[in-house]
Structure 1
Amino acid sequence: MIHLITGGQRSGKSQFAENLVLSLTNHPIYLATSRVWDEDHLRRIEKHKLRRGNQWVTIEEEKFLSKHNYLGKVILLDCITLWLNNFFFDNGEDDIKSLNEAQSELENIFNQECDWIVVTNELGLGGHPENKIAMRFNDLQGTINQWIAQRADIVTLIISGIPVEIKNTL
């Protein structure tokens, strides 16, 4: 099962996803994808860890999600946006390479026999970026979100902490 959870920044996506995972398993796995950019970002990561507590097994993986075995588990992948950011900046201006590498990694993990709760940002809700780099990333993010949503069994949009089910094929 793949459940994609999307929404704007600070919409409540992660907390909704964490509660959902805890309703599905007593042995949750948190797949953290963010690089630590600065002290402020580190504080945000630590705040997330504290909120989750010791019940969660955390796997920190910036890019190569498929090198781990998730067989039979319920995994919270948080988040696609920060993960995709790693490909985007590592590959310079080669957005096609970033998209292909990301799709390949996702194909590999989605083919494992497990349940995925996937958090992403809906960047298009925030207006049109003024600079070229931000616009390129928005385009890449929108493309990967559509790609995941097509494969997902369930898609939920979070608006101001309220979940709105967009798709459910189960």
Structure 2
Amino acid sequence: MIHLITGGQRSGKSKIAEDFVLSKTENPIYLATSRVWDENHAKRIEAHKKRRGNQWCNIEEEKFLSNHDFSGKMVLLDCITLWLNNFFFDNGDNDELTLKQCIDELDKLFSQNCDLIIVSNELGMGGSPENKLAYRFNDLQGSINQYIAKKADLVTLVISGIPVNIKNTL
């Protein structure tokens, strides 16, 4: 099963994803994708860890998610936006390479026999940024979200802490 949970920044999507996973398993895996960019970001990561508690098996992986064997497990991948960001900045101006690498990596991950709950930011609802770098990133984020949504069995949009189910093929 693949369940995409998307929404705006600070919409409550991570908490909803965590609650969903905890309602389904006693042995949750938290697959964190963020690089530590600065002191403020490090504090935010620590706050997330503290909120989750000790029942989670935490795995930190910036790019190569499929290097881990999740067979038979339920995995919360948080988040696609930060994961895409790692490829985006590592590849410079080569957006085609970024998209290809991300899709290839997702396909490898999706081929594993596991349940994936994937958190991603929905950036397309905020208009088009004037900054060229942000514009490019938004386009890539939209493409990745669409790719995951097509593969997903469930898609949930979170608005102000309220989950709205928008796809269910189960």
TM-score bucket of the superposed structures, by smaller chain: over 0.9
Give the structure 1 partner of residue 134 of structure 2.
Answer: 134
1:105 aligns with 2:123: no
- CA distance in structure 1 between the partners assigned to 2:113 and 2:147 by the alignment: 20
Secondary structure of the residue aligned to 2:121 is coil
What is the RMSD computed on CA atoms of the aligned residues? 0.4
Where in structure 1 are there 5+ consecutive unaligned residues? Answer: none
What is the TM-score with the length of structure 1 in the denominator? 0.99
- CA distance in structure 2 between the partners assigned to 1:163 and 1:131 by the alignment: 31
- Tell me the CA shift for residue 130 of structure 1: 1.1
- Tell me the CA shift for residue 126 of structure 1: 1.8
Q: Which 10-residue stretch deviates more, 120-129 or 52-61?
A: 120-129
The runs of at least 4 aligned residues of structure 1 exceeding 3 Å deviation read none
Give the structure 2 partner of residue 35 of structure 1.
Answer: 35
1:144 aligns with 2:135: no
Q: Pairwise mapping of residues 34-73 of structure 1 onto structure 2 (< 5 A)? A: 34-73=34-73
Match of 1:29, as an amino acid?
Answer: I
Give the structure 1 partner of residue 168 of structure 2.
Answer: 168
Aligned positions, number: 170
Q: Pairwise mapping of residues 16-27 of structure 1 onto structure 2 (< 5 A)? A: 16-27=16-27
- Tell me the CA shift for residue 127 of structure 1: 2.0
Q: Pairwise mapping of residues 66-81 of structure 1 onto structure 2 (< 5 A)? A: 66-81=66-81
Secondary structure of the residue aligned to 1:120 is strand
- Tell me the CA shift for residue 100 of structure 1: 0.5
Match of 1:100, as an amino acid?
Answer: K
- CA distance in structure 2 between the partners assigned to 1:135 and 1:19 by the alignment: 33
- Tell me the CA shift for residue 99 of structure 1: 0.5
Match of 2:12, as an amino acid?
Answer: G
Give the structure 2 partner of residue 154 of structure 1.
Answer: 154
